[in-house]
Structure 1
Amino acid sequence: MNDGGSTPGNWRLDWPTSSGRAGRAWLKCSPEDFRVDEHLADTEMPAGEGEHLFLLLEKVGDNTDYVARTLASLVGCRSFDVGYCGLKDRHAVTTQWFSLYRPGLEQDDAALIDRIGEHWRVLSQTRAPKKLRRGDHAVNRFTIVLRAVSGDRRPVDEALSRLRDMGAPNYFGPQRFGRGGGNLDKALQIDPARLNRRSKRGAKGGSQRTKNVLYFSAARSWLFNEVLAARVSDGSWRDPLPGEPAEPGDAPTGPMWGDGGTDATGDQERLERDVVAQHPDIAALFSATRMKPERRPLVARPDNLTWRWLADDVLEVQFQLAPGQFATTVLGDVLELEDRSLGPDNQ
């Protein structure tokens, strides 16, 4: 861990845990050790009719963007016409819903599904009146096998019980920031005013604008993590502060920085602005944008958390997370994880 500064190439990418870690473990020794199943909300389940073909695909070793681009090529549609709820890990076995815009082509669905089935297993299919969009799913269900688990079993069990009962800091995962914080380095090179200009679909420079949005999002997420880290360090991350914008009784939140910074007031606003003021280069990105400040829960609560020891040093953990929460950061609150998928061949 570095000193928390925002100098290019010197980014903090490992934040304080809630109670210390109970041991170490290897993560993603094989794709089969990390399974993610995406579930749509009951209210979002397709009706069986409409212009969009919904497919639930099982994929191994392919990231979401690659699958979406390949689907667009197989269908012969624009990449914009392929919808999905969120990004899924590449080094994993994942099931994920995709939507394809195919108005009036219901009679050709079976042949298309056969072609797609040559690339990925098609688990379910239906039609719906609208495209899938980010965050449309209800939960992600994880089954994760951790290997080479060190530390005594009892403190690991106790740490997992604490995680089940109290949750973990809801940090964005390091994958959001690129290798070594590379996405953050790129963010410092952005002209914020350019993000306000809408480019025509297919116009030259649209690809770079998409990348800039990615880099900008990384900067926003990093500031959230820094504020959450301050709350973890002072022990206030599970309790609202005076000035909390959330409704009474809701979980405490942190800032997704925007135009004007934060919509918190009082003590909470002062804390958030004090943290962000330590990183003026990142904060400057938001001074010329029209992005509205938003909020994100400080606590990630894994639902239906269970675990079992498959061997003395092999642990299987299962749980559900809401969209936008990271399994690796939740487990990383109780164990120091070494991602074995990031070997020399995957750098």
Structure 2
Amino acid sequence: MDKAGLDPIDWPPAWPRVLDEDFGAPLPGEFRASPEDFRVEECLDFAPEGEGEHLWLWVEKRDLTTAMVARELSRCCEVSSRAVGYSGMKDRVAVTRQWFSVQLPGRESPSELVERLAVLGIRVLDQGRHPRKLKRGVHRANRFHLRVTGAAAEDPSLEARWARLCRDGVANYFGPQRFGPDGRNLVRARALLARGWRKRDDRDGMLLSATRSLLFNELLATRIRHGSWSTPLPGEVVMLDGTASQFGVETPDAELRQRAARLDLHPTGVLWGVGDSAAKGEARDFEAALPERYPGLCRGLEQAGVRLARRSLRLALADPRLERYAGPAGGEALLTFSLPRGAFATAVLRELIMHPGL
């Protein structure tokens, strides 16, 4: 701890990349020169039923946060912010498509709503009625279309790097946007937890989330250095790919290791909070190091009442594709892939390009 009794937070972090050992550090590259270079589409497993008191809107936004769109819907429809629902938070500097819901019991859609939103850069692509509000975290995945430029896009080893990620998976780091510019969310979180977390100081839980994300990334970085980020350890809790289903493993056998190699299942790490970790043995030893290094952050999360959870240490890229082509300023690459909700495309990009924002 520092002189003020606060846990040390080193920024920028030196979290290791998986591919560096075999390929070296990636070359410099750009990935978001304009919002059109970063396209995201939310994937739901269901659609509006066609009737109900909630108006669902499938929208495309450009250079806007999800919260900004929610506020505009609240204003245009003359409802409270609580009447607006969405599943996931999407990047601002991007072109993204996602569903929103607005509770309008006994009311028709406001006249000229589509036109009013279009003026703000929000295109309504589809709409329908549904009996229920759209809840957070109900989408299954996000589909990404990312344009990469610069030396990294022209690197002859790009295909080999990409193939390795497709074969072995990607380290499931929380992205830098979770921590704010220069890690400022963590500085605020550390101070808040030191004096005692109160909801009025962190209404949407952003600072609690940033703290848990830091601790998870530190755990994942340690497992990468140890060489066990993708291999179940004795006492591991593993998660089935594409689901939240988990089970403990006392001693990994050959079949389980083969399933891990096929990306059927992944080791998990703790999202710190109140509760007892299901991990045991060697896997639990790695988790036990977190409160030793960050006693104030771990204790602060527990005192705030955050419940312990688990997150996969690894991601599998779904339907991945890499295309190269010549652009006006040199070689370009288009990366297309899907990730489960809660995963960050920046975790994929940091293995392929060197960029200060990663």
**Interval containing the TM-score (normalised by the shorter chain):** 0.7 to 0.9
Partner of residue 331, structure 1 = 349
Distance in 2, Cα, partners of 1:182 & 1:22: 26
Instruction: Note closer, same or farther for the CA distance 1:19–1:6 as it changes in structure 2 (3 Å cut).
Output: farther
Deviates more, 1:116-125 or 1:134-143: 116-125
Aligned residue for 1:23? 27
User: Is the CA contact 1:68–1:82 (under 8 Å) kept in the aligned structure 2?
Assistant: yes
**Which residue of 2 is the match for residue 344 of structure 1?**
none
How far the C-alpha of 1:66 sits from its partner, in A, is: 0.9
> Counterpart in 2 of 1:163?
165
Q: For the residues of structure 1 that align with 2:34 and 2:193, how far apart are their CA atoms?
A: 40
- Cα distance in 2 for residues equivalent to 1:163 and 1:49: 43
Aligned to 2:272: 257
Identity across the alignment (%): 37
Q: CA deviation at 1:290?
A: 2.5
Q: Distance in 1 between matches of 2:291 and 2:193?
A: 19
2:165 corresponds to 1:173 = no
Q: 1:291 to 1:196 in 2, by over 3 A?
A: farther
Q: What corresponds to 1:227 in structure 2?
A: 219
Q: Secondary structure at the match of 1:188?
A: helix
Would the alpha carbon gap of residues 183 and 282 (structure 1) be closer, same or farther in structure 2, given more than 3 Å must change? same
Q: How many residues align?
A: 322
TM-score by length of 2: 0.83
- Whether 2:299 is the aligned partner of 1:284: answer yes
Deviation at 1:309, TM superposition (A): 1.0
**Contact 2:193–2:297 (8 Å) recurs in 1:** no
Say if 1:13 and 1:56 are closer, same or farther in 2 by CA, change over 3 A: farther
Q: After superposition, give the CA deviation of every residue in 1:23-57 in whole Å (9 maximum; x if it has no partner).
A: 2211101111111111211xx32211111111011
For 1:220 and 1:263, how far apart are their aligned partners in 2?
17
Q: Structure 2 vs 1, CA of residues 49 and 294 (structure 1 numbering), >3 Å: closer, same or farther? A: same
CA offsets, 1:150-172, max 9 Å, x none?
A: 48643111000111111110000
Q: Which amino acid is 1:166 matched to?
A: D
Q: Does 1:239 align with 2:239?
A: no
TM-score scaled by length of structure 1: 0.86
Residue-by-residue CA offset, 1:219-245 (whole Å, 9 max, x unaligned):
011000000000111110111222223
For residue 76 of structure 1, report the CA deviation from its aligned partner.
0.9
Superposed CA RMSD: 2.3
Structure 1 stretches of 5 or more lacking a match? 198-204, 341-347
Amino acid at match of 1:264: A
**TM superposition shift of 1:113:** 3.5
- Provide the secondary structure at the position in 1 that maps to 2:191: coil
Alpha-carbon distance between aligned partners in 2 of 1:133 and 1:193, rounded to the nearest angstrom: 32
Instruction: Write the letter of the residue equivalent to 1:251.
Output: H
Within 5 Å, which residues of 2 pair with 1:93-108? 93-106=95-108, 108=109
